[in-house]
Amino acid sequence: MTDSATNTLDAWELEILDLFVGIFETFGLPKSTAMIYGILYCAEEPMLQEEICQKLSISTGSASQGLKLLSTMGAVHKQNVPGQRQSSYKAEYSMRRLLAYVVDAQLRPKLRNGKERLSQIQSEIPKENTHAQQRIHTLMTWQKKADRALPVISTLFGN
Amino acid sequence: MTDSATNTLDAWELEILDLFVGIFETFGLPKSTAMIYGILYCAEEPMLQEEICQKLSISTGSASQGLKLLSTMGAVHKQNVPGQRQSSYKAEYSMRRLLAYVVDAQLRPKLRNGKERLSQIQSEIPKENTHAQQRIHTLMTWQKKADRALPVISTLFGN
DNA sequence: TACAAGTTTCATTTATTTTTGAAATCTTTA
DNA sequence: TAAAGATTTCAAAAATAAATGAAACTTGTA
């Protein structure tokens, strides 16, 4: 039934890969990376990089880079089993933890950066230019709204 | 000071364009589209498509497609002034309304679609395959969490 | 209705992103 | 420490996405 010996995938696994490819696409992440997460999500046991390459028919480079990205995202975990040369990888299944990355590592830095740029721009506009001042001011209120909303968002998906 | 006669942009306008290009990039939207929104955001008066092409040095095709997308997003509004051949465009300044689009037109359909696909997949897996059933089940709980969270998100950015 | 202004469409070009795979690097063990 | 195994890096190739601009289409005007 399951076919862990050969390199073929079950129908339900293919469907789930598709699903993740779609989701990851929304965030602008490459297909190969989505598929790596997907196959690990489906797997019963942690997998080796080599197995991932085989099952998905992707290159060593793709696997290496994809796994690195997924690791820094906290979406997969690298385990070093003593007495085994290769590292093993398993998926993070907690939605809350996955979202924590998106919020903390992606959204927050962008917000902070935006805030700095806005102050910078504002300080460069003469007070007489009320139109420009008004526009910047509106953007700053957007900024503040986002600032207040972010922490609540993680909460919404909590366990 | 402002330079609406020629095609040059003020420093603060360039900065704001950059800012929007960055934000739009996060959502996988093209640079030209971001710039169109940016220039309309900065403008004191509604603009004609032709003026947008000139100010941004983009082609008619880009302007047309970008404006169409922004219109369906509700991010810009097309106004037809009687006695004027060309349509005018102005930016939507309300953050809440902008987010409403992202949530309603993008996120919700994807969620609904995901839900359908999951049920479909589940129905195709034999009950004996407990591993697969378990994985699908977890995804369905993700689904439900997202479902509950979505409506709250729009709220957070309300006026 | 014919003409002209304005806009959209879409095949082609250009730019960007992703993937590959072989060489370089790092790691383990004999 | 040498040799083999595992992983990473990165230049080049392939795939994808965005922008262009001329032709087709639409709409208003004489």
| pLDDT the model gives residue B16 | 96
Round to a whole number and report the distance in Å from the CA of A16 to the C1' of D15: 23
Percentage of chain B beyond pLDDT 70 is 95
Q: What is the mean pLDDT of residues B92-120?
A: 90
Whether the predicted pLDDT of A62 surpasses 50: yes
- What are the pLDDT digits (tens) for B22-41? 999 988 899 999 999 999 99
| pLDDT at residue A27, rounded to an integer | 87
Measured CA to C1', the nucleotide nearest A59 is C20
Confidence of residue A3 (pLDDT cuts 50, 70, 90): very low
Are the C-beta atoms of residues B57 and B7 closer than 8 Å to each other?
A: yes
How many residue contacts between A and B have a Cβ separation below 8 Å?
94
- With a CB cutoff of 8 Å and minimum separation 6, the contacts of A134 are none
Across chain A, mean pLDDT equals 92
Scanning the structure block, which residue is given the tokens 């060593």?
A: A60
Q: Average the pLDDT over B84-101 and give the result.
A: 92
Q: How far is B31 from chain A (nearest CA, A)?
A: 14
Distance A79 CA to D7 C1' (A): 15
DSSP string for residues in A56-81: HT--HHHHHHHHHHHHHTTSEEEE--
Share of chain A above pLDDT 90, in %: 76
Q: What's the pLDDT at A7?
A: 64
pTM score: 0.90
Mean local confidence (pLDDT), B131-148:
95
> A148, B156: Cβ pair inside 8 Å?
yes
User: Considering chain A, what percentage of its residues have pLDDT values greater than 70?
Assistant: 95
B-chain CB neighbours of A110 within 8 Å are: 22-23, 26
Q: Which residues from chain A sit within 8 angstroms of residue B23, using beta carbons?
A: 110, 114
Interface residue B45 vs chain A (CB under 8 A): no
Asked if B17 and B23 touch (Cβ cutoff 8 Å), the reply is no
> Does the pLDDT at position B5 exceed 60?
no
What is the per-residue pLDDT for B62?
98
Contact A26 B110 (CB under 8 A): yes
Q: How confident is the model at residue A4 (pLDDT cuts 50, 70, 90)?
A: very low
| Per-residue model confidence as pLDDT tens digits over A66-120 | 999 999 999 999 999 988 999 999 999 999 989 888 888 888 999 999 999 999 9
Restricting to A residues 65-104, those with a Cβ less than 8 Å away from any Cβ of B are: 93, 95
What pLDDT shows up at residue A103? 87
More confident residue, B151 or B65: B65
Candidates A18, A125, A142, A148: best to mutate against B (most CBs of B within 10 A) is A142
Query: Listing from the earlier edge strand, what are the strands of the sheet with A88-91?
Result: A47-48, A88-91, A76-79
Give yes or no for B34 touching A (CB within 8 A).
Answer: no
Distance from CA of A57 to the nearest CA of B (A): 22
Task: Supply the DSSP symbol for B9.
Answer: -
